[in-house]
Structure 1
Amino acid sequence: MRASERAYVTLLDEIQTGALPPGTVLAEVEQSTRLGVSRTPLREALRRLASDGLVAQASPRVTVVAGIDVDDIRDLFEVRRALEAEAARLAALRADRRVFTSLAREFTTIDTAEADAYYALIARFDAGVDATVDNPYLAAALRSVRTHLVRVRRMARDNPLRLSASAREHELIARAIGTGDPELAVHATHVHLHNALTTILEALTEDPS
């Protein structure tokens, strides 16, 4: 792996998990030393993160981890709603139905108390939708949204009741795709995203820190 890619992957993970919280200053000398790369690949990694919207220039010489607030989250979900609903509709028209029927069964049996395993199942579902739709422009737009979504999930904290409801919602989406029902796939996606956004905003209101 190239030095710039290694630096990018490490910083991306640290930003998404909250190890580098919003406002953290990413000083070139400090970060290049910490990550074991020279300043040139570090700058390339920071440019990619800036393109992702994850870091920002506080001044010409100071790069910081970008913040994300309630308005950002609402904007993110507006885009997510449009993209994921269309992806679900197309998947229902094009899918190998056995794949999504199998995923639907997994959502009925997944132990949502194991949050990492649950999010891994969601990642497989997302990858399955992307592969089925087979539209590189839609896939690229969804990747951008999902990059920020990881941060939002961490900010809102894991809610056991919400995770259980989310599993049921994903089961319905997967089953709709698996039965070739595009209207149900779109409707189920809208319901899921409405509930997800409501829960996230409630969590942030309870703990604005």
Structure 2
Amino acid sequence: MQERNTLGHVIKFVKESTGLAITFAYLILIISSMAYLGIFYGRFNVDILKLVALEDILVTPIRRPDIIVAIVAITIAVSINDALARYNARLSQGYVGKKKPWYIRFYERVFFFFPATAQGHYRLTVASFFGFLCFYIAFFAYAEAEDVLEGNGYEVFLTLSEKADSRSVILLGTTSLYVIVYDSQSGQVRVHQMESVASITPAENS
């Protein structure tokens, strides 16, 4: 029943092609992080791709470590699913040509669905992995944006070089070239060039 061992095959691939595996994993992290930011800033009608440089894209997995945690959690779920699939296959093999007890049939039909072949299992596993990852990105990026629109978020005092006074805004994020803030009073998003910002200090209630 080791054939239904997705994580085992992944580990084997990492050992045999370490460089390719690292590149592929890093690419998934970058795409996932940028997708998260795209949905988040899109809620404010900001095209984040126009505001980021290459170095910003490369460090997005570090700036969004929750994506890494989500992928690890999904990987653990995949491992549990593999174990359950192997257990289900053992149950099925034990009753080949025999009538299964009612509780086995109930278990198989109600609680779990597993493809009959290993190939089908791998396809379902890969689809589930990316499906849950996409759900996480879309759900939490949208929820975070909605939270900011309700006036919650990382509040800071922003001082621009050409103005002496500072104003309270919610910091949406920064890139190597821009500072992106949300004014909860006016409901407007402002994008400032980095060189035009004199200081950014946390508000006391942040």
Q: The TM-score by the shorter chain falls in which range? A: under 0.3
- TM-score, normalisation: structure 1: 0.25
- Which protein is richer in strand relative to its size? 2
- Flag the structure with more relative contact order, 1 or 2, with Cα contacts below 8 A and sequence separation at least 6: 1
- TM-score, normalisation: structure 2: 0.26
- Which protein is richer in helix relative to its size? 1
